């Protein structure tokens, strides 16, 4: 049941995983996913995104990675994202969000956690990053931290039903029992 919930949340969070990479130094007012597909125009842009502008070349590289993501070529998407990060380290705020998503799609949960942790540090006011970080933590069995991240995502986007659904599920001790990690780690929390 937990695995199905995590997969469902991850799939429904696909839109959430796409960062505002379209924000360039021109401070466009496009919505979060407008650089990928048409969406409504937003009058506001997060200051977090304005702190991380990207070049047209980097945007093209990210679009290429997203094309691989959409076609199901996850390893190629990961390679493209890693290449983007190597060529433009300033793109890390966006690349880590997408890398985390791709790592989850390829069952590389530890790598996903690392990527989402970086994304949350770089863009702390983005509910998508916190939501996806929570999903990855839940997949790893760290339900307490997952609930904390889901709560933060909910604080940032209280009207988002997917985030609320994840938070409610993580608060259900039947689905996500607490203390599980301690029991798996052995006495005194040591491996």
The pLDDT tens digits of the residues spanning 119-156 come to 999 989 899 999 999 999 999 999 999 999 999 999 99
- Whether residue 53 is contained in a domain is answered as yes
Give the range of the structural domain holding residue 88, as residue numbers without chain letter.
2-23+47-177
**Alpha carbon distance, N-terminus to C-terminus of the chain:** 26
- Whether residue 159 is contained in a domain is answered as yes
Q: Is 30 helix (H, G, I), strand (E, B) or coil?
A: strand
How big is the chain by its Cα radius of gyration, in Å? 17
Count how many domains the chain has.
1
- Whether residue 191 is contained in a domain is answered as no
- Whether residue 29 is contained in a domain is answered as no
* pLDDT over 70 percentage in the chain: 65
Arithmetic mean of pLDDT, 38-49:
42
What's the pLDDT at 139?
94
CATH number of the domain that residue 117 is part of: 1.25.40.10
Instruction: Tell me: pLDDT of 16 over 90.
Output: no
- Whether residue 173 is contained in a domain is answered as yes
- Whether residue 121 is contained in a domain is answered as yes
pTM higher than 0.75 for the full model?
A: no
What's the pLDDT at 176?
75
- Whether residue 28 is contained in a domain is answered as no
């Amino acid at each position: 049941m937990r695995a199905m919930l995590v997969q469902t949340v991850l799939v429904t969070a696909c839109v959430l995983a796409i960062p505002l990479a379209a924000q360039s130094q021109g401070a466009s007012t496009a919505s979060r996913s407008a650089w990928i597909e048409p969406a409504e125009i937003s009058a506001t842009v997060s200051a977090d995104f304005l702190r991380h502008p990207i070049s047209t070349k980097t945007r093209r590289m990210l679009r290429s990675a997203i094309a691989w993501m959409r076609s199901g070529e996850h390893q190629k998407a990961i390679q493209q994202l890693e290449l983007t990060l190597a060529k433009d380290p300033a793109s890390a705020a966006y690349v880590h969000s997408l890398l985390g998503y791709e790592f989850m799609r390829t069952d590389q949960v530890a790598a996903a956690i690392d990527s989402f942790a970086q994304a949350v540090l770089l863009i702390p006011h983005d509910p998508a990053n916190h939501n996806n970080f929570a999903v990855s933590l839940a997949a790893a069995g760290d339900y307490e931290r997952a609930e904390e991240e889901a709560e933060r995502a909910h604080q940032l986007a209280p009207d988002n039903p997917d985030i609320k659904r994840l938070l409610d599920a993580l608060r259900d001790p039947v689905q996500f029992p607490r203390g599980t990690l301690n029991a798996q780690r052995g006495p005194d929390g040591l491996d």
